[in-house]
Amino acid sequence: MKKAETFRNSLLLTKIFIFLCVLSIGCSNEASPLIKNEQTDVSNITSSAQKTIDSVNTSIFDPRKIKVGDKIGKLTVESYERIMTDVFNDAEYVTQAFIQFSGEVKVTGSFKRHPLDREYLAGQVVFQMDDNVDFPRMKIRDKPQELRQDEWVVLASDDKEMKQKFGPPGSEGKATIIISNYRVQYGHTEISDSARLREVISIERNNNKEPLNEKSIVKWLRFDQEGHSTERKLIKEKFASEIEEIERGDHGNVKKIGISISSEDLNGDGKNEIIVALMHPYFSGYQANSLLYVYTTKDGKLDQEISFNNANITIGERGKQQDMGIIDNPESEWKDIVINDNLWSWDGEKYDLIKNDFLTVKK
C-alpha cells in the first residue's frame, strides 16, 4: 500500500516537471516584436469587417496581413519588416512598416523639387500620387477606417537629364511617370517612401525659380563678327539659301547679314557649343536685332539645334556685350543662360524661359 502511494507521488512530480519544462520552452520562443517576412495567420486579430483586403480596390492593403509574393495593385511584395501594436479601436495597425515592392507602375500626380537650402531632402524630387487602383495604399487603422494620407515619395534616378525635366530647385507641377522599386517606409520619424524613376511620360511645370542671389556670377559671352572660321563655315552652309536671298535683295533693302559667333562649353562635355546671333530683319523682325541659336557638334558637323526668342544684342569693342551671358547651375550639366535680363534653364531636352526680368546682378 505504501509502495503504491509512493508511486503515485512520483508520477505527480514527474507530470509537474514536464509541465514546467513545456512552459519554459514556450516562454523562451516568444516572438520578437520586429516581424520579418513571416507567413503567420493574423486573421484572428482583425474584426470581421477587415478579414479580407478591400474587394473593390485591390491596391488597398493591411500591413498586418501581407505576405511575400502578394500582388497589390500592379506591384508585388518582395520583403517586409513591421512592428505590431496592440489592437484597440483607435490604435494603428503597426508602429513601423518597411515594405519593398517589385514591378513597375505608371502614376500621375504632383511633384516638388525641394530648394537647396532645405535641411531635409535638399534638391530632391518628391512625388505625391493621385488616386490610382494600380498603386499600393496602406490602411493604418480600423476605427475610424483610415488610409495613409499625403505621403510623398522620393524619386531616385541616375539619369541627371531626366531629373532636370522637373526643373530647378523650387519647382512644382504635375507629371505622369513610370516608377519601380517602390518602398514603403512608415513610422513616427521623418522618413519618406522611395521609388526609382524609370520614365517621364509628360510633365507640366509651374514657372517658378528662386531669385538669383548676390553671389551668382554672370559670365558675359564675347561675340566675334569675323572670326571662328570653322564654325562660321558651318553656319553659312546651314543658312546658305537664306543668305543668298538676303544678298539678292529678296527680303528688303538690307542686303547684308551679320553673323556673330561665340563658343562656350554649355553642357560640361568638354566640347564647345556654337552660339550664333543672326542679325537681319528677315530673322529677327524689327523689334529686335538678332535671332539666337545654339548648336552642338558631332564629327565636325552641326548636330543638335537649340533656338531662343529674338533678342537685342549690342556688341561693342572686342566682341564685348552684356545682353547674353551664362550662369553655372550646380543642379544641371547645362549652364543657365541670361538673355536681355531673362533667365533660361535646361529642362532635359531644351532651354525653357523660367523668369522674366530675372537679373539682379548689376551690369
Is residue 4 in a domain? no
- Are 145 and 240 in a shared domain? no
pLDDT in tens, 189-222: 667 899 999 999 998 888 644 444 433 478 899 9
Residue 47 has pLDDT above 50, yes or no: no
The pTM assigned to this predicted structure is 0.48
Residue 86 has pLDDT above 50, yes or no: yes
Beta-bridged to residue 258, according to DSSP, are 279
Structure confidence at residue 207 (pLDDT): 60
- Are 229 and 291 in a shared domain? yes
Is residue 212 in a domain? no
Is residue 90 in a domain? yes
Give the range of the structural domain holding residue 176, as residue numbers without chain letter.
34-205
Domain termination site, one of 154, 177, 205: 205
Residue 63 has pLDDT above 80, yes or no: yes
Residue 362 has pLDDT above 50, yes or no: no
Of 167, 214, 178, which is closest to residue 336 (Cα–Cα)?
Answer: 167
pLDDT in tens, 16-37: 666 555 444 444 444 445 566 6
Structure confidence at residue 140 (pLDDT): 83
Distance CA 42, CA 51 (A): 9
Residue 118 has pLDDT above 80, yes or no: no
Residue 244 has pLDDT above 90, yes or no: yes
- Are 226 and 157 in a shared domain? no
pLDDT in tens, 153-176: 999 988 777 777 888 788 899 999
Is residue 187 in a domain? yes
- Are 239 and 183 in a shared domain? no
- H, E, C per residue of the chain: CHHHHHHHHHHHHHHHHHHHHHHHHHHHCCCCCEEECCCCCCHHHCCHHHCCCCCCCCCEECCCCCCCCCEECCEEEEEEEEEECCCCCCCECEEEEEEEEECEEEEEEEEEECCCCCCCCCCCEEEEECCCCCCCEEEEECCCCEECCCCCEEEECCCHHHHHCCCCCCCEEEEEEEEEEEEEEECCCCCCEEEEEEEEEEEEECCCCCCCCCCCCCEECCCECCCCHHHHHHHHHHCHHHHHHHHHCCCCCCCCCEEEEEEECCCCCCCCEEEEEEECHHHHCCCCCEEEEEEEEECCEEEEEEEEEEECCCCCHHHCCCCEEEECCCCCCCCEEEECCEEEEECCCCEEEEECCCCCCCC
Q: Where do runs of H (alpha helix) occur along the chain? A: 2-28, 160-164, 229-238, 240-248, 281-284
- Are 303 and 342 in a shared domain? yes
Domain termination site, one of 180, 205, 230: 205
- Are 165 and 77 in a shared domain? yes
- Residue 277 sits at the vertex; the CA angle it makes with 272 and 282, to the nearest 5 degrees, is 145
The phi and psi torsions of 19 (rounded to 5 degrees) equal: -60, -45
When pLDDT is cut at 50, 70 and 90, the band that residue 106 belongs to is: very high
**What percent of the chain stands above pLDDT 70?**
75
- Are 264 and 121 in a shared domain? no
**Lowest mean pLDDT: which of 14-18, 47-51, 144-148?**
47-51
- Are 224 and 154 in a shared domain? no
- Are 191 and 224 in a shared domain? no
Domain termination site, one of 150, 178, 205: 205
- Are 281 and 351 in a shared domain? yes
Instruction: Count structural domains, the chain.
Output: 2
Structure confidence at residue 82 (pLDDT): 82
When pLDDT is cut at 50, 70 and 90, the band that residue 243 belongs to is: very high
Is residue 16 in a domain? no
Structure confidence at residue 310 (pLDDT): 86
